[in-house]
Structure 1
Amino acid sequence: MYWIGYDIGSSSVKAALVSSADGSEIARVQQPKKEMPIDAPQPGWGEQDPDLWWEQVQLATRELLEKTGIKADAVKGIGISYQMHGLVVVDQDLKPLRPSIIWCDSRAVAAGEALLQKAGEAECRERLLNAPGNFTLSKLFWVRENQPELFKKIHKIMLPGDYIALRLSGRCTTTASGLSEGILWDFKEEQPAAWLMETAGIDPGLLPDIVPTFGPQSELDESGAEACGLKKGTPILYRAGDQPNNALSLDVMEPGEVAATGGTSGVVYAVTDRTQTREMNRVNNFAHVNHSAENPRIGKLLCINGTGIQYSWMQQQVSEDTDYAEMNQMAARIPVGSQGLRIFPFGNGAERMLSNILVGARISGLSFNTHKRDHLFRAALEGIAFSFVYGMEIMAADGVNLRKIRAGNDNLFRARPFAETVATLTGATIEMVATTGAVGAARAAAVAGGAFPSMTAATATDKVQLEYAPVPGKEPYQQAYAHWKNELNHILKTHTT
């Protein structure tokens, strides 16, 4: 028996098959082979057609089955991971009314601030563990205020993973963990935050039916099965946003455990059992995949939008003929601090870590006589690492223990200058495990389907591939970070004034 997992990203859709025997990965594919486009009708906006994701799911599934020779009836269940915070709105026929406003879109910052003022900071802190921010509900509030005729046609709202489940099954559903990432979940009442929707002038009836994060959610209907080459009736057993799912993939499930990722964006995700927070703006608090009222599991999430996308930009614009491994080697030849060159990787929308300020990416201290490509690569990696450290300081002040971090096999964590900078400045040991979100989603479906008793059992075949510890002689790192942080604080001060 096999289990299939999808990871619906903004760059691509990945699909993986794992075995019921030991949870090992059988095969993995990606569609499209190059990145999907993100439309930006205005600066700071980001939109994608939801049916573009669905097309890639179909292509990836058929490629996966053809590549492995596995028959459709051998696939016993489906798990879905997806890009968080996106808004999909559909009409009575369950067709999208507009492109999805995705995670990196900044247009709803002001709408979120207005909603916070309407709802009250104390109420949001106690019941939501977050400010409305630039999340799904705020994006819907923006549609209500700016596209009123379209808003009137909305039958249901969904997250990106909900839409893929809809296309597979014909059923419109969501989860409590998904609603929490949209700031639509009341942790005090353990139910949808209908009061907040009503405060925003939005009918709570727009929410889909709620199904368990783990467990039977729906089954493939004839249309979904035929489109993907799967068997009608195959159950969808798991669904979660990409960062909670990334933590699950690394078996980060219990209080005190921390996961990190360095994809298009950079994320630190720490699990706690505390349903209180001092930070509800710069760090966000979501229901983890195993959260329940009886056993709270809150994922404290720090997100930096402009991380991997900056390194990708650097490769494409500065050295298109150089791959990431070569860039990492070139960066490693440059001393800590990049000889005064500093890069601030904040060019991918408003940064929640910076209180939703849109500061843009910046290069500072560039000397035409000193700095070469190698310096640019080192400074890019250091700027991303310093951003992680800056955010981790905020998390530490909110009670997060950062002594040990688990990370997936991302390029950024394969870059020694990046990983050693983070480890040395935080004092944390970083373990890298070769797994992916699609594999994690497939394993989660297997757990929900009864093939394994826990994620620990499902991930037993995973091994630590690399480990980074703080390096001796941390003074150069501390000095370089202090200069970077001082300049960032100056940027923030001049920007906000």
Structure 2
Amino acid sequence: MKYVLGIDLGTSSLKGILMTSDGNVVLTKSASYGIDNPKQGFSEQRPEIWTNALEKVLTELSKNVTDFGTALAGISFSGQMHSLVVLDENNLPVYPAILWNDVRTSAQCKEIMDKMGSRLLEITGNIALEGFTLPKILWLQENEPEVWTKVKKIMLPKDYLGLYLTGNVHTEYSDAAGTLLLDIEKHEWSKEIAKTFNVSMEILPELTESVGQIGVLTEEVKAKFGITTEVKVFAGGADNAAAALGVGLINEEVGLISMGTSGVVSSFEPKIADYKGKLHFFNHTVPGAYYSMGVTLAAGNSLNWYKETFGHGLDFAELLADVGSVAVGSDGLLFTPYIVGERTPHFDSKIRGAFLGISAVHEQSHFSRSVLEGITFSLRDSKDIMEATKAKKFKRLISVGGGAQNPDIMQMQADIFDSEMIRLTVEQGPGLGACMIAAFGCGFYENLEELTATFVHYQSETFTPIAENVAKYEKVYQIWKQAYQATAGISHQLVDLNDEA
């Protein structure tokens, strides 16, 4: 039996999933690391902490799997998007990686939109936001000019691991799409954007498909971890794209609902779709395809905040135990999950959350349910944009993350989305998608349908909409949608006042 290894480079840890070529998990190992915050709004990591974490994971795998060194056939990656890695002529980092959650680049985002306007959206499918890579490049040019003169290559975090394993510099379309430098339709770096912002085409890495082979393990790496056979290394995918593959998002009939710290709604797109900047739009790990993505900034984060602030020491099971007994709509109580601003569809960093309609009849169980409903309404904003633009309705939605573990939340999602909800037998996250890329790249499967059927499994239980609840939620949702406009002006004034203090 041959093995494939999926390496998921996250913001706080690196996870390695070793799987057999027929889709069974052999062993998972992980290594954690921190984030540096040298100034307010700055978020950085030194790239060497990623390779150190990778070495720890590979060491553990080689120690615990007796035939690791002889049966490993392929490796691929998933990784945090957008973060900027800059290298010198020796492929050594010349500045800490500026991460996706770094917010120092507001001025650069304005500059990009002022110079490119709607043309940026036409080429890249996205508008300029602080998380993307190009604003970070502009910040480095303007604030660290001596560093910028040393930059000979830029890359993304997971691709730095590919460099470590193979000695080659590459990236692939799903991650490149998050830089604001890729022409997503032509599948090439945009000369127009690069020229506008003085980015030499020479510093941009070679592009390939996610399943493209970028090399083989170097002899040095093989010797270090006791590997004796040739191991192919494949480009991999951005974390959200790899996660989409890992849940079976390979056709338009299904959508993905993910409730982690943030909330994500993803849809498979076989061709370019014009969402007019309301959603993110990126190249998929599936060759030639795309995916759209809406984001609720504080999904699980809202629930965590609520638990820590009002939970009185209860765990999540205790806190949510009674939500199923509360009426649909929480008896007139609404919650907007804008506690850290919002992304889709408002793109508003100053909006803040609110409880609306509080009355003397409301108990803690009402507040608990209203938080869950508010999060789900926010996710529905993205789903509705997708369905309206595509003029079709999802046949079913795959739910992952914390919400998928709770039957009450699953039924709530079915009712609010008016869609059949399914969940995975076992969640492995983006690392599973990376394993699938390696398995496909190695030639173990002839097509994606066969690959997905082998690696991705769903629970037999489904959650179907209850007609009475759907009708009630439709009325509540239409009221809930008014909350943004009703509270935005107040939120902005409060944020500005607080900033002055």
TM-score range, shorter chain: 0.7 to 0.9
Are 2:203 and 1:206 equivalent residues in the alignment? Answer: yes
Equivalent residue number for residue 485 of structure 1? 481
CA distance in 1, matches of 2:49, 2:303: 25
CA distance in 2, matches of 1:353, 1:68: 44
Read off the aligned partner of 1:100 and give its amino acid letter. Answer: A
User: Any gaps of 5 or more consecutive residues in structure 1?
Assistant: none
Distance 1:408 1:388, change over 3 A: closer
Are 2:321 and 1:329 equivalent residues in the alignment? Answer: yes
Asked if the contact 1:92/1:155 (under 8 Å) is kept, the reply is: yes
Distance 1:212 1:187, change over 3 A: closer
Are 2:286 and 1:290 equivalent residues in the alignment? Answer: yes
Deviates more, 1:321-330 or 1:425-434: 321-330
CA distance in 2, matches of 1:457, 1:39: 42
CA distance in 1, matches of 2:366, 2:44: 34
CA distance in 2, matches of 1:31, 1:142: 31
Equivalent residue number for residue 499 of structure 2? none
Read off the aligned partner of 2:373 and give its amino acid letter. Answer: E
Asked if the contact 2:399/2:421 (under 8 Å) is kept, the reply is: no
Distance 1:304 1:61, change over 3 A: farther
CA distance in 1, matches of 2:396, 2:143: 42
Q: Highest CA radius of gyration, 1 or 2? A: 2
Q: CA deviation at 1:223?
A: 4.6
Equivalent residue number for residue 418 of structure 2? 427
Equivalent residue number for residue 438 of structure 2? 445
Asked if the contact 1:347/1:359 (under 8 Å) is kept, the reply is: no
Deviates more, 1:424-433 or 1:479-488: 479-488
Identical aligned pairs, as a percentage? 26
Distance 1:179 1:455, change over 3 A: same
Name the count of aligned residue pairs: 486
Equivalent residue number for residue 10 of structure 2? 9
Read off the aligned partner of 2:420 and give its amino acid letter. Answer: T
Asked if the contact 1:341/1:363 (under 8 Å) is kept, the reply is: no
Distance 1:339 1:90, change over 3 A: farther
Selected match of 2:453 from 445, 448, 460: 460
Selected match of 1:311 from 286, 292, 303: 303
User: Any gaps of 5 or more consecutive residues in structure 2?
Assistant: 494-501
CA distance in 2, matches of 1:399, 1:242: 24
Read off the aligned partner of 2:208 and give its amino acid letter. Answer: V
CA distance in 1, matches of 2:27, 2:474: 42
CA distance in 2, matches of 1:302, 1:463: 25
Q: CA deviation at 1:311?
A: 2.8
Selected match of 2:232 from 235, 254, 272: 235
Which secondary structure does the structure 1 equivalent of 2:481 belong to? helix
Are 2:130 and 1:130 equivalent residues in the alignment? Answer: no
Which secondary structure does the structure 2 equivalent of 1:464 belong to? coil
Distance 1:405 1:242, change over 3 A: farther
Q: CA deviation at 1:58?
A: 2.6
Asked if the contact 1:214/1:444 (under 8 Å) is kept, the reply is: yes
Asked if the contact 1:214/1:237 (under 8 Å) is kept, the reply is: yes
Equivalent residue number for residue 466 of structure 2? 471
Q: CA deviation at 1:174?
A: 0.9
Give CA deviations for 1:212-249 in whole Å, capped at 9, x if unaligned.
Answer: 32131122224544566655742212410111111111
5 Å-filtered alignment, 1:146-225, equals 146-225=143-222
Selected match of 1:396 from 387, 394, 397: 387
TM-score norm. by structure 1 comes to: 0.87
Are 2:347 and 1:359 equivalent residues in the alignment? Answer: no
Equivalent residue number for residue 144 of structure 1? 141
Asked if the contact 1:259/1:268 (under 8 Å) is kept, the reply is: yes
Superposition RMSD on alpha carbons, in Å? 2.9
CA distance in 1, matches of 2:114, 2:195: 14
Asked if the contact 2:254/2:396 (under 8 Å) is kept, the reply is: yes
CA distance in 2, matches of 1:207, 1:393: 36
TM-score norm. by structure 2 comes to: 0.87
Read off the aligned partner of 2:416 and give its amino acid letter. Answer: L
